[in-house]
Structure 1
Amino acid sequence: MTNQIEIGRGKRGRRAFSLDDVSVVPARRTRDPGDVNLSWRIDAYTFDMPVIGAPMDSVMSPDTAIALGRLGGLGVLNLEGLWTRHEDPAPLLEEIAALEAAPGSPEVTRRLQEIYDAPIQAELITARLAQIREAGVVVAGSLTPQNTQQFYKTVLAAGVDLFVIRGTTVSAEHVSSTHEPLDLKQFIYELDVPVIVGGAAGYTPALHLMRTGAAGVLVGFGGGASTTTRRALGIRVPMATAISDIAEARRDYMDESGGRYVQVIADGGLGTSGQIVKALAMGADAVMLGTALARAAEAPGAGWHWGLEAAHPDLPRGHRTHVGTVAPLQELLWGPGHQTDGTSNLMGALKRAMATTGYTELKDFQKVEVIVAPTHVM
């Protein structure tokens, strides 16, 4: 079965759907929200909720990673961000939040580039990860593929529990005529810690990432409130289709590998509880949240949100975006909520959605019925 359509005489394309294009359908049986279990497991680590804090400086500091861990989630620290480039990034975070120019202005971008031009310091990677470890929560840090070879030994020596290799897009086979690329399969094989890798946006690249031995694959490309990748590069894969495709790759890889299960983690464009619900319904095992957690009172961005791509030295592809402050992290995730727009009590909303559709376990909820219902159709 195919849903390819003719774009013009010389090009065909497959129809794809965003999370806004789909809706979850209630079933004949409902459940009590109190009976819903949101626990999620990756490798040897079990969490009370399927939430990962995105490794972005506006979202995760060592303190917020610890706070998220104590609330039952997983915080991932950006090991190429301000916390590993500056001994005390607090004044710089305050400056970024106080910049008066428009979010997408050259002045803001230029200042971000200047701030992020400071070199990454290995001793700060060690210190920041040690701070998280001392708090007794699961320790996770993220590097881009470009810097993984240089710093991964420092990360492992610091005692990281989960290692994240995250980029705009990550492939198992990167070809270069100028330098030796990172061999993901060999790299992951030689590590003693589980690796989460991505992003991937299609069946075939995700299947190849699963074959490297990764414990989890991040799904997403071109989404998120702070990115302008779609406009800058013309590349985007709508999330509902991307998650569904990669969930199918997970199933086929299980058959191929004799039962090895790789976690599918939706990453990008998940700013409200309804989008989180639909991402899990499409087949994700967990979600990586940026904008949603950037709205927490404890978030380092103080109501502003940006990613590493916004400070790229040659081709910046992101904005410093104002997302506001909604509630303390506890209230934002577990309630009680006081907003009616899906920006607080995210896990309470997920529990209610699962209960309304008759499910008490996340794996079972992936079987829920969905319909195509574009937002302009009432």
Structure 2
Amino acid sequence: MDFEIGRAKRARRVYAFDDVAVVPSRRTRDPEDVSTAWSIDAYRFDVPFLAAPMDSVTSPATAIAMGRLGGLGVLNLEGIWTRYEDPEPLLQEIRELPDDRATARMQEIYRAPIRAELITARVAEVRAAGVPVAAALSPQRTQEFFQTVLDAGVDLFAIRGTTVSAQHVSQRSEPLDLRRFIYELDVPVIVGGAATYTAAMHLMRTGAAGVLVGFGGGAATTTRTSLGIAAPMASAVADVAGARRDYLDESGGRYVQVIADGGLGNSGDIVKAIAMGADAVMLGSTLARAAEAPGGGWHWGAEAHHDQLPRGRRVRVGTVAPLQEVLYGPAHLPDGTVNLAGALKRSMATTGYSDVKEFQRVEVVVADSFGR
């Protein structure tokens, strides 16, 4: 239903994760009988969690750790690891910057050029550990470096931006032809973000194996403040899941993974993302709180150091536990920041579902406030 804002404008009511909750059913299960496994193309993972390609979250070391723990770490190939041979002094400096200097100094740090040989070295480091290798570039950098990435040997490739469309119009440069690009690659490609049914449908038609859902919804972004653009995530995920359903019929059975990316601050948000139709979630701030995270208790994304219009910030998220405990517990905090997989299993068991795909059918309710 559309609502009238004024005589010249109508709008659709949409919902964030805080506006919805899952509802128990007539059946419950033992949590140990519940599977959180997730697959994309030929790759299977114990948990449907991807570590976001953000410098405060995923280093080569944490990508390896995520892989060994049954998830997937996605390397940021435009980050500090591909600009500097030894990034640790720069990371330490970013962690210690005063708030009034953080944006300007980060812009300076990230002006260093991306080096193809460092892309090769970082990918090789993860590959040598024997875990699946995933890496990400923005649409602007994909044409420049994708061959380097493929030659280095990635298993999955992500084209990730604040928003990614199948039809980008530019009078200044040759836009990335997603359909041709994906067709010519030999690896599964994940693209996004997308926040609407139509945008997601167009991305699915390019041949993408997965679509990232989100737009400026993370803890470290100020996109809504800067650009006035936002995508309340419960509605966005449900819309893109609807596109997946319709594309499945249109394509004669081709299933595209829907991956929620943004607004996932705790385990409850992860549960609700999957309840709304996501197959997996890409995690930023929730994993930036791990003891091994390169941000050291701080979190930032590429938007925080954009050279012309920063749309993010460096935020303090703290450190709650080692990565093993963040993912699998035991939890010593009751706030949904530790034992993410355990919380997902418990919610699925409480509502009577045995796997992630089944859990997408769970009943949900909407309320203006859940006791806040």
TM-score of the alignment, normalized to the shorter chain, above 0.5? yes
Partner in structure 2 of residue 150 of structure 1 = 144
Equivalent residue letter for 2:92: E
Q: How big is each residue's C-alpha offset from its partner over 1:23-43, in whole Å with a ceiling of 9 and x where there is no partner?
A: 000011100000000100000
Q: 2:42 aligns with which of 44, 51, 67?
A: 44
Partner in structure 1 of residue 78 of structure 2 = 80
Equivalent residue letter for 2:209: A
Partner in structure 2 of residue 21 of structure 1 = 19
Partner in structure 1 of residue 63 of structure 2 = 65
Partner in structure 1 of residue 313 of structure 2 = 319
| Distance in 2 between residues matched to 1:207 and 1:144, nearest whole Å | 20
Name the SS of the counterpart of 1:76 in structure 2: strand
Partner in structure 2 of residue 96 of structure 1 = 94
| Distance in 2 between residues matched to 1:254 and 1:376, nearest whole Å | 35
Name the SS of the counterpart of 1:198 in structure 2: strand
TM-score (norm 2): 0.99
Partner in structure 1 of residue 116 of structure 2 = 122
Deviation at 1:269, TM superposition (A): 0.8
| Distance in 1 between residues matched to 2:341 and 2:61, nearest whole Å | 21
Deviation at 1:55, TM superposition (A): 0.1
Partner in structure 1 of residue 296 of structure 2 = 302
Partner in structure 1 of residue 185 of structure 2 = 191
Partner in structure 1 of residue 174 of structure 2 = 180
Percent same amino acid at aligned positions?
Answer: 72
| Distance in 2 between residues matched to 1:372 and 1:6, nearest whole Å | 21
Q: How big is each residue's C-alpha offset from its partner over 1:187-223, in whole Å with a ceiling of 9 and x where there is no partner?
A: 0000000000000000000000000000000000120
2:289 is the counterpart of 1:291: no
Q: 1:227 aligns with which of 221, 225, 237?
A: 221
Deviation at 1:374, TM superposition (A): 2.8
2:246 is the counterpart of 1:273: no
Deviation at 1:271, TM superposition (A): 1.2
Equivalent residue letter for 1:122: A
| Distance in 1 between residues matched to 2:53 and 2:72, nearest whole Å | 11
TM-score (norm 1): 0.98
Q: 1:204 aligns with which of 191, 198, 205?
A: 198
2:165 is the counterpart of 1:165: no
Equivalent residue letter for 1:33: P
Partner in structure 2 of residue 282 of structure 1 = 276
| Distance in 1 between residues matched to 2:321 and 2:356, nearest whole Å | 26
Partner in structure 1 of residue 130 of structure 2 = 136
| Distance in 2 between residues matched to 1:307 and 1:164, nearest whole Å | 16
Deviation at 1:377, TM superposition (A): 4.8
Task: Kindly report structure 1 stretches of 4+ aligned residues shifted beyond 4 Å.
Answer: none
Deviation at 1:237, TM superposition (A): 1.2
Q: 1:53 aligns with which of 51, 54, 59?
A: 51
CA RMSD of aligned residues (A): 0.7
Equivalent residue letter for 2:6: G
| Distance in 2 between residues matched to 1:332 and 1:16, nearest whole Å | 30
Name the SS of the counterpart of 1:170 in structure 2: coil
2:233 is the counterpart of 1:213: no
Give the gaps of 5 or more residues in structure 1: none
Q: 1:330 aligns with which of 324, 328, 352?
A: 324
Deviation at 1:376, TM superposition (A): 5.3
Deviation at 1:373, TM superposition (A): 2.0
| Distance in 2 between residues matched to 1:108 and 1:190, nearest whole Å | 40
Equivalent residue letter for 1:137: V
Give the gaps of 5 or more residues in structure 2: none
Name the SS of the counterpart of 1:127 in structure 2: helix
| Distance in 2 between residues matched to 1:185 and 1:163, nearest whole Å | 14
Q: 1:259 aligns with which of 253, 267, 273?
A: 253
| Distance in 2 between residues matched to 1:183 and 1:231, nearest whole Å | 31
Q: How big is each residue's C-alpha offset from its partner over 1:229-286, in whole Å with a ceiling of 9 and x where there is no partner?
A: 0000000010000000000000000000000000000000101000000000000000
**1:177/1:195 CA distance change after superposition, 3 Å:** same
